[in-house]
Amino acid sequence: MNIKVGILGATGNVGQRFIQMLENHPVFELEALGASQRSAGKTYKDACYWYQTEPIPEEIANATVVSTDPNDKAYDDVDIVFSALPADLAKTLEPEFAKTGKYVFSNASAMRMESDVPLIVPEVNPEHFGMLEAQKSNRCSDGAIITNPNCSTIGAVISLKPIMDKFGIDLVNITTMQAISGAGYSGVPSMAILDNLVPYIGGEEEKMQTEALKILGNIEGNDFKNGNFKIGVSCNRVPVIDGHTESIFVKTTEEASPEEIAKVMDEFDPLKGLKLPSYAKPIVLREENDRPQPRLDRNTGNGMSIVVGRVRKDPIFSVKYTALEHNTIRGAAGASVLNAELFVQKYL
User: Which residues is 234 bridged to in the sheet?
Assistant: 175
Is residue 70 within 8 Å of residue 100, measured between CB atoms? Answer: yes
CA 105 to CA 321: how far, in whole Å?
A: 31
The Cα diameter of the chain in Å comes to: 61
**In terms of DSSP H, where are the helices of the chain?**
13-22, 44-47, 58-61, 87-99, 132-139, 151-167, 190-193, 204-215, 258-267, 294-297, 334-346
Alpha carbons 66 and 39: distance in angstroms, whole number: 8
Peptide bond into 118 cis (omega under 30): no
Q: How far apart are CA 184 and CA 200, in angstroms?
A: 16
- Angstrom distances, CA of residue 217 to CA of 5, 66, 119: 30, 39, 11
Helix, strand, or coil here: 297? helix
151 is catalytic: yes
Q: Which of 48, 128, 151, 326 is catalytic?
A: 151
CB 340 within 8 Å of CB 80: yes
Edge-to-edge strands of the sheet including 3-8? Answer: 28-34, 3-8, 80-83, 103-106, 144-147
HEC string for 177-221: EECHHHHCCCCCCHHHHCCCCECCCCCHHHHHHHHHHHHCCEEEC
Q: Answer for the pair 310, 316: CB distance below 8 angstroms, yes or no.
A: no
Catalytic residue among 48, 128, 235, 244: 244
Positions annotated as catalytic residues are 151, 244
